[in-house]
Structure 1
Amino acid sequence: MNTLDSRCAAIQDKLAASFDLVFRHVHIEQTEAWAIFLSSLTDSKMIAEIIESMVITGSKGLSVTFYPGSVDAITDLHKAILQILSGQCVVIIAGDEKYYCIETRQYPSRQTAEPSVEKSIRGSHDGFVENIILNVGLLRRRIRDPRLRIILNKEGVKTRTDIAYAYIEKLVDPDILQDFENRLLNLDETEILSERNLCEELYGKTMNPYPHVRYTERPDICSIHLLQGYLVVVVDNSPTAMIIPTTFFEQTKQIEEYTQTPLIACFTRIIRLIGIFFSLYLIPLWIVINVTHNPTMLAIPLLEIKPAEFAFQILFADIVVEWIRQALIHTPTVLSGIMGFIAVFLLGDTAVELGATTKEILAMIALVNIGNLITPSYELSLANKAFRILIGALSLLFGLKGFCLGIFLHILILMSTKTVKYPYLYPFLPFSYKALKKIFFGSPIQIKKP
């Protein structure tokens, strides 16, 4: 067996009998070569053009040339196999010990569309997809600065997932960049399949429900944060990017703030924060008022309640809303109309007449869930819902003391949530007037100067 055949056999032995693994033999006068690639991840038209370029140049006595793909010559068999699995074409030539890796990747991908959980009236209506190359292109299209750096890494023992992190040189905080690169360098040998998986490996798993980074599927939001000195991380096979660092109030920002006038942006920002505050504390506060029979200065009508029955009614209504939310996510489109009928049946007059709940409880549950829905960050809204139930349970069991204890625990959890550099409740704790002013009254885009 000659050297060329043994090298082909070594690659075939490593990749086993995969049906999409293609070995194309090319024999040009005195030159013999093999082109090896995966048909499922490569552009067939480009492969044909590369083979044609090899035949044309080799038959004229010239050095074999690969056109039009970009070429990288390596000598490591393991790296060559990794490039084949990534969608590149590897060419080996008799008498040459190098592996020529040619860029021929064409990943399966869907068209860009506006993310369903981050819609906007004005502004762009495109979003990230599962193809990392397209996602990087969406960032490049918006930021045409030569200082924009996009660094590619491969992580995972078996997955070897492409991970790209982007930042603008001289704008990014050097402490944040150094911390991320150190964590990535010391990443354990584990499998990376999504951005959530990567976040857990970088910052550790925790029982804290609040997100340590901001997740988004919008390239315009990522571009704005890059201009403000943040770090953006994109993971292949995932349409969601991570923005580092983040805070509680950073999670409450919405793209609409950047497409409206400063006055309207400030108004919508304040209204949204009030809604988020209500989604957290309105139900527990109402429970305290009813349990302690305190009408307050607002003269709120009190219910004649039995604690156990009252708890069941609130819990029933809140759980039903959560069931409906999850069902709407997983229900096929053709069956989504049925969910409207089920929702009316479970949370309408039928439930009230059966005594499962009351109109007052339904009104409160509807109000707080509207607050959950206007929360821009999906992860933040789920964490707020979990703490609303916890604070409500403490309020029901211990009254005003339980309510105060629940709020104290909630703030304590927020303060103990670990992020990079900035405390989670910044700029309230620690207090910063300048940063707080930007949250409420800042202009739509605050670009950090180099």
Structure 2
Amino acid sequence: MFKKLIDKARNIFSKDDKDSNKTQERIPISSDIDKVHKKVKELFGKSDDVTIREFVIGNSSVKALIVMIDGMIDKKIINRDVLQPLMVQSRGVPPGEDEISDMYDWVNERVLTFQSVKESDDFKGSIDAVLSGDTVLFIDGYDQSLIISARGWDERGVQRPTTEKVIRGPKESFTETLRTNTSLIRRKIKNTNLKFESMVIGSVSRTQVSIGYIEGIVNPKIVKEVKTRLKDIEVDAILDTGYIQEYIEDAPLSPLPTIHRTERPDGVAGKLLEGKVTILVDGSPSALTVPTIFVEYLSISEDYYQRASFSTFTRWLRIVAFFTTLLLPAFYVAIVSFHQEMLPTQLIISIAAEREGVPFPSVVEAILMGLLFEILREAGTRMPRPIGQAVSIVGALILGEAAVTAGLTSTPMVIVAALTGVGVFVIPSADLAFTLIPLRFLLTILSAILGMFGILLGLLMITIHMASLRSFGIPYLSPLAPGTYRDLKDVLVRAPWWAMNTRPNLYTENQIRQEVNQKPQDPEDDEKELKHSD
């Protein structure tokens, strides 16, 4: 009921915005070069980084207009392959305008030697191309333009991932350039069925967004739903995938993430091969993949590069770290406040002795230490790396020791806060790790009120909420709920590759991943012996 009221209110308040943000209609290009020149001047006004040049093609009397943005194009290529051929090299070919049956086609097919030259009869689309870094050529007497791709701005090269550390596997991450990111994925999936479809979102920023999927593996209904949700976005600017994420997720008010975000191309390639869809945004060094289930946040691409036994072990370590981070402070508060009999007598006496001079109840102590750790973590993240590491490590040691000495907290509470903080860094997904922070404080408060019953009540609410979530129609807790036996091979354990013959059942069209019976077999006894011939 509450969700329906929110959706209704959102539709009412967003109605006016949708009407004002409607896409402008196509504007035809005038065949009069002077009118085009005047219109371009009016659009860009006093922008000194926009180059607008009018010239005559060869020794003819046909005028042309070139429009580009300085800093977004390669000047050498424009001078060598556009201006020089049109103004100098074509002076004798042809000698006069009368011998040219179609100047537009002659320039397009014989003069310009670019790999990518597009024709356009839309003035607005041509201006959008200029703003995206292309060069646009208008020719007098023709109501079409030539969009020349000669982009040449400075960009960051492919580097190691910064937020997803790699021990084994490809050591490369996405950049801020859309075409570089799509090429990184294509290098891993060399198949014609890998499709990328682009659209422009943002009435002011005109940001290019690309949807990637593998035809024949992905469920077409999911692709259609992704396109529908993206087309429904009407906003002035999209600067990062985080904008897209909030607009298209199924449960925008949920604290739990339902769209996976990664900076690793190999991670995206693996999810595409499972039948998922990726969303790339020009200017963002990360990619989104949908649909997403909860167990994905506790696994990484590296799990599939290591041996199955070791990958299963590390996956269980992450599960233990997840529950430690979520529940340890709440358990400590509940035991100290209500359930002292659960601990050995000697241990509870030791804890009581440590807490003897602490003026705060255990719940206040836990919340203060949790907030202190988060402040230090945030400071270490925002400060320059060498200084930030010193602040996060040395600061925690010094402040923890000072707090114990001053009697503001107890030694067991410092240990609990340290274990909780370290457990956050074991969780591979930053989105999930940040989600645990408010949930941890909630469970701590419930444990201070109701003890263990409060913890169980909080866990029950979280579990019910997770069971109600969907990601593009896929249950968030699948394959655990609803249970899918054959998909459990990649949840709590990571089965060997030769045992994972099928893709996930719920969100793929083609469920067959590989042929069966590929388990390596021991050779026969007689083949084990080396045969030596005299």
TM class by shorter chain equals over 0.9
Q: Counterparts in 2 of 1:18-97, with a 5 A limit?
A: 18-27=47-56, 28-30=58-60, 31-48=62-79, 49-55=81-87, 56-57=89-90, 59-61=92-94, 63-64=106-107, 65-97=111-143
Q: How do 1:6-405 residues align onto structure 2 when only pairs under 5 Å count?
A: 6-27=35-56, 28-30=58-60, 31-48=62-79, 49-55=81-87, 56-57=89-90, 59-61=92-94, 63-64=106-107, 65-203=111-249, 206-296=252-342, 301-302=347-348, 303-304=351-352, 308-333=360-385, 335-336=387-388, 338-339=390-391, 340-347=393-400, 349-405=401-457
Deviation of residue 391 (structure 1)?
Answer: 0.5
* 2:495 counterpart of 1:442: yes
Cα offset, 1:207, TM superposition: 3.0
TM-superposed deviation, 1:323:
0.6
Amino acid at match of 1:44: K
Query: How far 1:256 moved relative to its partner?
Result: 2.1
Paired with 2:31 and 2:483, the residues of 1 have a C-alpha distance of 73
CA displacement, residues 345-396 of structure 1 (integer Å, 9 cap, x when unaligned):
112x222111122221111112122221111110101111211110011101
Q: Distance in 2 between matches of 1:289 and 1:431?
A: 35
Worse-superposed segment, 36-45 or 234-243: 36-45
After TM superposition, give the deviation of residue 58 of structure 1 in Å: 5.5
Name the SS of the counterpart of 1:345 in structure 2.
helix
| Most deviating of 287-296 and 368-377 | 287-296
1:210/1:417 contact within 8 Å kept: no
What is the CA–CA distance in structure 2 between the aligned matches of 1:126 and 1:15, rounded to whole Å? 39
1:301 counterpart SS class = helix
Instruction: Say which SS state the counterpart of residue 68 (structure 2) adopts.
Output: strand
Distance in 1 separating the partners of 2:32 and 2:494: 70
Instruction: Tell me how far apart the structure 2 counterparts of residues 352 and 319 of structure 1 sit (CA, whole Å).
Output: 16
8 A Cα contact 2:250 2:471, kept in partner: no
TM-score, normalised with respect to structure 2: 0.79
For residues 148-181 of structure 1, give each alpha carbon's deviation from its aligned partner in whole angstroms, at most 9, with x where no partner exists.
0011111111111010111110011222112112
Offset at 1:332?
2.0
SS at match of 1:122: coil
Compute the displacement of 1:51 (Å). 1.8
Any idea what SS the aligned residue of 1:142 has? coil
Distance 1:295 1:53, change over 3 A: farther
Partner amino acid, structure 2, of 1:435? D
Q: CA 1:361–1:75 in structure 2 vs 1: closer, same or farther (change >3 Å)? A: same
Q: Structure 2: 5+ residue runs without aligned partners?
A: 1-29, 95-99, 101-105, 504-511, 514-534
Matched, 1:426 2:472: no
The structure having more radius of gyration, on CA atoms, is 2
**How well do the aligned residues superpose, as a CA RMSD in angstroms?**
2.3
Deviation at 1:184, TM superposition (A): 2.0
Higher alpha-carbon deviation: 78-87 or 396-405: 396-405
| Amino acid of the structure 2 residue aligned with 1:442 | A
C-alpha distance in 2 between matches for 1:413 and 1:178: 27
C-alpha distance in 1 between matches for 2:157 and 2:337: 54
SS of the residue corresponding to residue 395 of structure 1 reads helix
TM-score (norm 1): 0.94
Q: Which whole-Å deviations, capped at 9, do the CAs of 1:390-423 have from their partners, x for residues lacking one?
A: 0011101221221121111221232233311221
The 1-side partners of 2:250 and 2:48 are apart by 39
Instruction: Name the % identity.
Output: 26
Contact 1:307 1:396 (8 Å CA) reproduced: no
Structure 1 window deviating more from structure 2 (195-204 vs 399-408): it is: 195-204
